[in-house]
Amino acid sequence: MPEVQHFLQETLTELNRLHRAYLLADPAEAPPEAQSAYHQFWADPDRLRVAQELYQSGAATDPETARRLWLICQSAKEYGAST
């Protein structure tokens, strides 16, 4: 599996896990923990670095993959990640 596809698959798998944890959480207790985990996920500077490297290198061979990498970069920056 190409590196870019592996990165996207890992990122989306973890993101889906965080979404499920938040949606299935006890509304009285877990949302702050789930929100914190979501924030930490996006604020990870390594995730931003890899996404930027893949995006800028032209590793994405189609517009959809390039767009997904770009969205990961933008989301990470929005949550405070920096390289």
The residues spanned by each domain of the chain are 33-83
pTM metric for this prediction: 0.86
> Is 21's pLDDT higher than 90?
no
Angle, in degrees to the nearest 10, between helices 63-78 and 31-43: 120
Percent over 70 (pLDDT), the chain: 96
Higher pLDDT, 4 or 35: 4
* Tokens standing for residue 27: 């509304």
Confidence (pLDDT) at 1? 61
- DSSP code of residue 52: H
Average pLDDT score over the chain = 91
Residue 62 neighbours by CB under 8 Å, 6+ apart: none
Residues of 38-51 as b/e, b for ≥16 C-beta within 10 angstroms?
Answer: beebbbbeebbebb
